[in-house]
Amino acid sequence: MSAPLSPKQAQALALVKSGGLRRINILEGSVRSGKTWISMIMWGFWVAGAPRNGAYLMAGKTLTTLRRNVLEPMCGIFGDCFSYSLSRKEGSLFGRKIYLEGAANAQSESKIRGMTLNGAYCDELSIFPEDFFAMLLSRLSAEGAKLIATTNPDNPGHWLKRNYLDNKALSLLDLKFTLEDNTFLPPEYVRSLKTEFTGVFYDRFILGNWTAAEGRIYEDFSQKCVISPAELRQRLAESPLITSVIGVDYGGNKSASAFVHTGFDAGFRNVYVLSEHYDPRNSSAEALIDAFKGFTDEEKERFPVLSAACCDSAEQLLIKSFRSAVSLEVKNALKKQVSTRINMVNRLISAGRLHVSAECPHLIDALNSAVWDEHSIHKDVRLDDGSTNIDSLDAFEYSIERFEREMFHF
Ligand SMILES: Nc1ncnc2c1ncn2[C@@H]1O[C@H](COP(=O)(O)OP(=O)(O)OP(=O)(O)O)[C@@H](O)[C@H]1O
Ligand SMILES: [Mg+2]
């Protein structure tokens, strides 16, 4: 643990050593700013001096993200002083027992009911359900109990900002980190991050501010992102697709059905929207299944790399029918948070990596016209009042969201 720290990280660690932590300690700010790194060291130092027979908890949105973001790096930082088992949902840090938990939904809160905790660590707190966090604080009842958490900023009306960070009555330490605070990042990488994040995502993830989402969603989307069929053929001849996925969204009343087929070239560098199907009528389930079969067969013929369809998981019966209609893997869409999906698309656009075939007019129109819902004050919502085509956007995002790590290398 003699690794060098950035000045901001050294300041944060000095607080632990001098007893300057409060009951709730939140490290917030820009992406890649060094929050998670120092939070693990702070947590280790603090736990090492806390009661040996106490109970400690580490939580992430899921156990898988907790492992990737925190537990694995902690093995590197603490060596023999830290070990864990995901199957037993337990670990040991400087001889203290650590419970591990996922906070995926409101029900997860029941998993920590009844515990008495001396300390807790939360990874990416803003994506936890508020109920889980409230329950966690109520379980931190041992004397001197403390919580350390990291988060990126979100909507200023988000529960974490409104009810905790802005609540002066709480014993809460708010440590802000910006991209510049991380002196370990190569300048070239920082420059590319700054060009990829735009609009509200620039304010939040680069500047580290809690900013509301307003106006046009895909600010940088323009005719430059549209590609003619001839140009598409030529580009794919030079750099062939390695895989492709069809995203599927189907609405109930008033909403359309959309299929969007997206391909990826080597290293998931370029993202090509190859074709679309859009039916505003939604006449019957049978018609939809037929259309899906027709579209899938035709696309497979044109692009043999087609590997899966990812469908809105709301209608499991339809997915079952899709599965028996086609010889293609049909999966449930991951349905990541809408702002996460939008940020992904915007980063691709700003980096010049998204190319939409001119044969997809519905998706092009949707990308041009989507706006944030300014009446939503607690979270980011895409305006869905029937005036814009949300279905094509959902379908497109379902086709790319599972490749977030491959596309952005984190
Ligand atoms: N003291 C350090 N020494 C070496 N590398 C560091 C140090 N601090 C941070 N880094 C590296 O900088 C990168 C970003 O740090 P970290 O993951 O802590 O950022 P973050 O603020 O948690 O970002 P995000 O909001 O994206 O989760 C990581 O690759 C990490 O390994
Ligand atoms: Mg982090």
Q: In this predicted model, what pLDDT tens digit does every residue of 378-391 receive, in sequence order?
A: 889 999 888 788 99
Q: Cite the beta strand spans of 213-301 per DSSP E.
A: 226-227, 241-250, 257-265, 271-279
Give the closest residue (by CA) to ligand 1 atom 14: 32
pLDDT at 252: 65
Beta bridge partners of 310: 247, 331
CATH number of 223-408: 3.30.420.280
- The string of pLDDT tens digits covering residues 58-85 is 999 999 999 999 999 999 999 999 999 9
pLDDT at 2: 53
Question: Number of helices and strands (H, E) in the chain?
Answer: 16, 15
What pLDDT is recorded for position 18? 95
Structure tokens at 169: 């009555």
Token representation of residue 302: 């044109």
DSSP assignment of 103-117, as one string? Answer: --SGGGHHHHTT---
Domain residue ranges in the chain: 7-186, 223-408
152 Cα nearest atom in ligand 1: 25
Task: For residue 7, report the distance from its CA to the centre of ligand 1, in Å.
Answer: 13
Which residues are near ligand 1 (CB < 6 Å)? 3-6, 9, 31-37, 150, 152, 177, 182, 184-185
Common-topology check for domains 7-186 and 223-408? no
CATH for 7-186?
Answer: 3.40.50.300
Statement: residue 209 has pLDDT above 90: yes
* Most ligand 1 atoms within 8 A of CB, residue of 30, 31, 36 to mutate: 36
Tens of pLDDT along 7-53? 999 999 999 999 999 999 999 999 999 999 999 999 999 999 999 99
- Report how far residue 100's alpha carbon sits from residue 363's, in angstroms, rounded to the nearest whole number: 42
Among protein residues, the one whose CA lies closest to atom 10 of ligand 1 = 34
- Per-residue model confidence as pLDDT tens digits over 306-322: 999 999 988 888 999 99
409 has a pLDDT exceeding 90? no
- Higher-confidence residue of 384 and 152: namely 152
Q: What is the pLDDT of residue 253?
A: 60
Radius of gyration of the chain (CA): 23
CB atoms within 10 A of CB 343: 23
Q: Tell whether the model's pLDDT for residue 265 goes beyond 90.
A: yes
The ligand 1 atom at the shortest distance from the C-alpha of residue 5 is 1
Amino acid at 330: V
In DSSP terms, 176 is beta-bridged to: 28
Contact present, 160 and 97 (Cβ < 8 Å): no
Q: Which pair of structure tokens corresponds to residue 371?
A: 């706006």
* Nearest-CA residue for atom 25 of ligand 1: 31
pLDDT computed for residue 256 by the predictor: 86
Percent of the chain with pLDDT strictly greater than 70? 98
Q: What is the mean pLDDT of residues 239-263?
A: 90
- Would strands 96-102 and 119-122 be described as parallel, antiparallel, or unpaired? unpaired
3-state DSSP assignment of residue 269:
coil
